[in-house]
Structure 1
């Protein structure tokens, strides 16, 4: 075993290359060895002094070194890049056109782009999932990786392979806390005592300070690596075997478009595997294994090859919102599965199956499974299934894709028992609940418990509760169902199950939340005795801020909550007269109990109700036809209950046909039916029902309906294009690509498409999405004269973050010949075009003001980190704008705060103009001849912003 404490250091002369390296990272302004914040006993003083003596590092103008200041990832990229360039590595010619990291653009800092290309191309700095994350601080584990990679690259050695071959005492005790990739690099620093043997905790997740970096760099430069040689044996074999170790099981995100087909999954696995392998020159290929979810990865370099099998699970991308499958569960139930959680308030009437009438529906707790119940047994062949777009739970402004398919189903499976539950708070259970695999016909079948016949009725459902029992705890009991029949007529002669009694003596817990502006939702941890809850929560148990009784209505159970949730309606007419919210106290007594008799601990809880300011929004429409196929009415659904309106009081929509011609007498005229308070729909009845074909654009006026809020909110204007014809089997056309440059998306169609204010227009914003959302307000779309190229210009201040691969979709567009566009999904690059905004300012002294921005900012034109910004700001003192000459207003970044800078009034050779702190001070941004204040993407600060300066 190697003794690490043997002498390993050999003092090398600091060359020009090393000087360039350190100066880039730790040399802000002036050189000085005796820094006033680096005392004699400071841990990093030896390294700081040595590097200062060599003229490598310097400090700040105030005489400090700031050893505790953290380094960012961009600092390290520039550092390593300059070092490699000084050693003869070239800056790639395409550094500004080929982004090495997805969060950089051509407008990023030019120096950062150059060195980002150098370090990425040479494997020194690989980023995080393709991103540089320039403003983030670098961790100690990442610093170790970068240092070891850099020295390997520069000196053509493999420090990791060398150290792995050594048997030595490891000092680092928290190596396991580091990510797997970093552990070998930490071993290198440990083996060569570049880490501190006296402080065995490496703290891999901590950030790296200037002082720590100086010590690590000083030790690394002065370490004797002469014993390091290339690993013995075939280097290709070593690389392939090392790569195989890097390939491991994992989860893979499957992108939108092909909806997780085998080819789509395989491509995603290939990308995943490629990202795992860090060995240079090793190629990877993934193929499907014999078992579902397993993939065989072949790793190759030269003549060497290794195969490894891994297990992969699949997830949907965050912006994928679609139906994954529709299945019939039994004779009367259908299940619709979504890739994301959907809004439970937007599921009504969204699913239709040809020849099937649904009577009810319920959504799972996770919001991803919708179960529908039909009025009669399902028996269909190639029936059309349509799931309309449904709002997502995470963002009700975003919907799932419309789903169309076919289904063939007939229930031929006989029912069985799926579960039995019996509970007690004592020693005997008096009842049980039995659940069948599907709903059973009313009045069919017999039930035995422990061999004795008992009375039970499933009443057309899959569940029955049996009372009047005496079931002991600690024993096994048996239930048997005899001659039961499901709704499709499938019979089971006998099915049985064993069960035990569960003892539950736990006191129920309770929480209160607001539901809407005038309802209190009470949620219990267990199913409750409904009568005890209603008897306890009578009017007067809710108190206002002064503990006066608040008028409330009858408590009701929440449907589908299994008696765990209840609603208390506040019936007082006016509660928000002069307030935006009210805090109420609810008195909960120990008379409330669960179904087993466990009593609630008496308590009081507060709940805050907030004034409803959300407008009712249209969620969809439904065309109502009679038995002859004639359209009799149009039903428009809304997101919440509406205020009452008399017949004809709700304005009818304006209608335009697919040629853009206004239709003034559609179906003889549409008249709105009366709206009953609480309705979530408006029905327009046709005066002359008729068969309708083709597509029509319906435009509904602003303030069409109002909600039931104390102060009514009125709806915005909205539009629907309704297709009254049968599903077309006509030919379609496809897009092959859509490209974006500087936030202008160019969509090229293979043939002329419709444009203008008509249905299925390529210039209709509603027919596109970006990142799963509607195009930003203010987007302009134009067609060329041939009507084959749509130019989509995104407005200024609409893209908050640069992204090289934003999901872009185009749909619902038709060619001039009547062909329909097959929904297109691809990716485009967008660039941050949101300007940094001056948010606040404060006085530091009578010549200096500190400015705070809405995002990180950079100064783009200056010397020695001092920037002239007289063209960027106007300072008003009292009522007078200061008359500052060129060069008299200068700016600096604020150390440690990327979104702050200071502006100072300076005059060379004379006293600076001083601010009169007794008077009001304002700072206003103005349009400069040359921009000096920008964000990292190159967006100039927003002009015309004026803020008051705090003193």
Structure 2
């Protein structure tokens, strides 16, 4: 026996037990909150957290658990959450870029053992994200699937192209290479299709990929290598077909598939959109039929391929389905205030999915106000329209309280109501049962203005120092003239001015810093955080990379040399051309001559040197010194149209 090893295990176990006992005595708290990039904030707890107290079933952060507020609000922003494996770290991902001070609040959170976490509030500052994203790893998931991981969430993959190692181009669609990228993902799975033989290497090249803050991937372009594996020799098969609802059934396979199978019901193919991989078991696909399932059906399963590329055999099975006959029952009701329009709604949860067909709910019962009971008879209030709370959840419906109560709408009253539904039924068509509810009526608030402004056009302005951004509606002046809300790669925005509203739209003129734009060509242009006039909601981040801008580096005169008594050679910093107007006045001793002497550069074709003719230079003129003064009519320009820069008079040397 290895005594030291056994002793080490005993000591480790002892300390782990002591630590567990110590941790058990700790009061559950938030230990730290840190911003990790432009869209993500990390919240660390000292104990494992019950994720159901923080996250909705779809991964959204519950608004009563974690809130993030800035001075101008976060209207319309979605917060997603994900816990670490030990349950102690929550990563919150925002659908909008974060770049300012925020109040963060954590409350109503419990540990996995039911302990309440102390309420936590803190003001945090999220610095502007200027760190370029990188590709951190590639992982082979299966013979035909490779996962590429980035250092932070990605807004755009840019342009991705594929080639075999020998240079042969591979299509980025169909049976070539496809991927599952969605904006905001840190990981992307690439699928190597049937056009790629086993053992072949594919080089993927990323150009212009950007993180959520618009930072370009580094290096740019970047490449990754992916190799198609060989089939594993074991074909996938159908393990079972099980009814899961009035219109749904689950098909379980012997192993995970590379893509959705083809499912047929009595020879008719089910739409691909109605076949979904189960969230908990990747070997199961849930199929939704167009009508209630009843009696004997022939289920066909075709086109099954496992992750290694091994193909299964098409098959059919005869399945007996049982029509659902139980009516949907309301299991709970809650009054909530809509975050957008500030209205109160009655939300009703059923024990199963319900279909709505011109759905309404009628009320009867009573309400108490000031110790007086008032009755509501059948027909006193017209039936109110019912809608789903959210899609695709079909178990919870809601109705506007002001409409539901009609003329019986009394602030602060306590209601006890009978609810009778019409047009609300199970998937098999069984009408929902009547229900009862009780609540206290509050009042509806004033809906916030959440208009979103969009960008309809971006183009070069009147000259190379301007870029014009056309918004599709009038804009909030403060946000629209904030320089930090605009970024043009390779140029510096110095200020922003607004043109008057015209035709329902408004133009922001981006004034570029002189000589800051060194090349002509297409640019990455990012616009964010601009609001519509009167709105409290910032625009969706806008990105465009197909607008070509001219460089704005103005040409200059580098020397003016007298080579004869009436000839001066002008040398320019770059090739220029000249129009027909006069460009310079010849000064003597820094002053105009009795009869003003004006000259035209006269460069009809692009050149860097021009010889101009002046009046005969006398000894007296030379002794006083000759110079050129730019005229208002100067029309010397470079190839991009930048006008010659003459900040001061040009001295002519002998």
Give the TM-score category using the shorter length: 0.3 to 0.5
Which structure is higher in strand share? 2
RCO higher in structure (CA 8 A, sep ≥6):
2
TM-score (norm 1): 0.32
